[in-house]
Amino acid sequence: MNSPAALAPAERIDALPLPFRHVDDIFVDGAWVRADSSERRGVIDPATAQEWGSVPVGNRADLDAAVASARRAFDRGPWPRMAPSERAAVLRRAADRLEQLAEPLSLTNTLENGTPVAESGGAAANAASIFRYFAGLAPLLESDDVRPAPAGTHETVVRRDPIGVCALIAPWNFPINLVVVKLAPALLAGCTVVIKPASLTPLSVRFIVQALTESGIPDGVVNVVTGSGALGDQLVRHDDVDKVAFTGSTQVGRSIARQCGELLRPVTLELGGKSSAIVLPDTDLAVLRSVLIRSSLRNTGQTCYISTRILVPDSRHDEVVEAIVQTVAAAPQGDPLDPATIFGPSASAAQQASVRAHIASARAQGAHVALGGAAPALPAPFDAGFFVEPTVLTQVTPGMDVAREEIFGPVLTVLRYNEVDEAIALANSTEFGLGGIVFGADERGALQAADRIDSGSVGINFFASNHAAPFGGRRDSGLGVEYGPEGLHAYLTYKSIHRHTPLA
């Protein structure tokens, strides 16, 4: 796919195969229907600041219609009553179809939030693999779970029922995969859902809907309403919602947790992070350089789990910083539609301003800018986009704002330590606990350090999630987990049926 960078912004968009641009509908009861709301929101290309699409800003009537559709489908429809293997077959067909939609999905994603196509080009395949993984868990739901009572007087049949109507509220940074990681287990469990995509990324979710409807999912099982954060609040509190799953900021997550706590409503929250990469003294810098961008600056730094705090031993500080600076400087920034681009724009003008403010704060508090820190020099039309120059900050101390707060941009901070115990303490000194990495040539020693990091996930010499393993945060990074059988259990409710032990 060649970049149309030489074209004017409008021509640049018109040159692409985009099936969804300006739409006036929401997805309810198996069909795209005109929204009741007349209010609209534009979809902005962050690379050029040009509007290229628009969607309805749903109102309460739109939300009620979507939730009522999901409620009917759960209470009276076939989906919760189908065998898990039948539901799994739909998920597998949807996975196949989603892979066929990879190119327009990738382009839509990139034009919504600026993710380089080198990243968004894998979104369909990754989402398909999530569908297939959860489809493979169907046997867990099909076998009877019979447990003898300790006294031997009776036994209990434990039923795993779908929890009900689920509100799935997605973020803007990975608008496909962070929907599917909620949607796939919910659907396999037999739940019905209402999806509220992020305001910045309202169009790419339509490819998921297309794949599922073409794969035979019954009407009303999946519903989508676009809208504001206020609409999300209404969805969380809706009387006919039984479960909430949210990925996003810790601030919004706290609000959702309060609401769900008041309602005694189950909730899964995957929130922010401020993860550390501990560089042990025996680290092979070639290994560090090979994974640095993916593990610490993925998606232009707009990834929750990435390790943006690099903890470096005093004995190797200068050579490690040099390796980091050279690696980041060599990664191209520019048109996210160019397959060679590694760093795209921030997803919005507000996010760009936030990242720039963090860099300014770091300077004011005494950090040294080893790389970047200025506005990137990009040609038209990208000079109008929401770009932030990839930045490496050194002489960072633990009390600085950039060492404590999630930046969500292409900024790395380097902190020094003397002993490994000090590095562990630094890694555990934040309010977050989502990711982390330990670099070291002695993997046994690195594993021992990883065991001491108080975080939901830690990688050794790299970081990557695993569909089969739980992913979740501690402290301000969230509640509950996604992925793995544990992620499926979040969409189930349990019933114990006690009976006399049948005679042989």
Q: Could you tell me if 434 and 273 are in contact, meaning their C-beta atoms sit under 8 angstroms apart?
A: yes
Local structure of 253: helix, strand or coil = helix
Cα–Cα distances (Å) from 28 to 94, 167, 218, 266, in that order, read: 19, 14, 12, 24
For the CA atoms of the chain, what is the radius of gyration? 24
Q: Give the dihedral sign, CA 438/440/443/448.
A: negative
Partners of 439 in the β-ladder = 279
Q: Could you tell me if 318 and 299 are in contact, meaning their C-beta atoms sit under 8 angstroms apart?
A: no
Distance in angstroms (rounded) separating the CA atoms of residues 442 and 230: 50
HSE at residue 3, side-chain half, CA atoms within 13 A, is: 18
Q: Which residues are catalytic?
A: 270, 304
Q: In the structure encoding, which two tokens stand for residue 102, read together?
A: 């990879």
Angle (deg, nearest 10), helices 317-329 and 285-296: 50
Q: Could you tell me if 48 and 381 are in contact, meaning their C-beta atoms sit under 8 angstroms apart?
A: yes
Amino acid at 343: F
Distance in angstroms (rounded) separating the CA atoms of residues 222 and 310: 42
Amino acid at 262: E
Residue in this structure with the two tokens 């109008």, named with its chain if needed: 384
Distance in angstroms (rounded) separating the CA atoms of residues 373 and 368: 10
Give 134-157 as a DSSP string.
HHTTHHHHHS-EEEE-TTSSEEEE
Q: Could you tell me if 273 and 432 are in contact, meaning their C-beta atoms sit under 8 angstroms apart?
A: yes
226 class by beta-carbon count within 10 Å (0-12 exposed, 13-18 middle, 19+ buried): buried
Question: How many CB atoms are closer than 10 A to CB 150?
Answer: 6
Give CA angle at 193 (30, 176), nearest 5°.
90
Q: Give the dihedral sign, CA 52/376/123/14.
A: positive
Q: Could you tell me if 185 and 213 are in contact, meaning their C-beta atoms sit under 8 angstroms apart?
A: no
Buried b (16+ CB within 10 A) or exposed e, 153-185: eeeeeeebebbbbbbbbbbbbbbbbbbbbbbbb
Local structure of 370: helix, strand or coil = strand
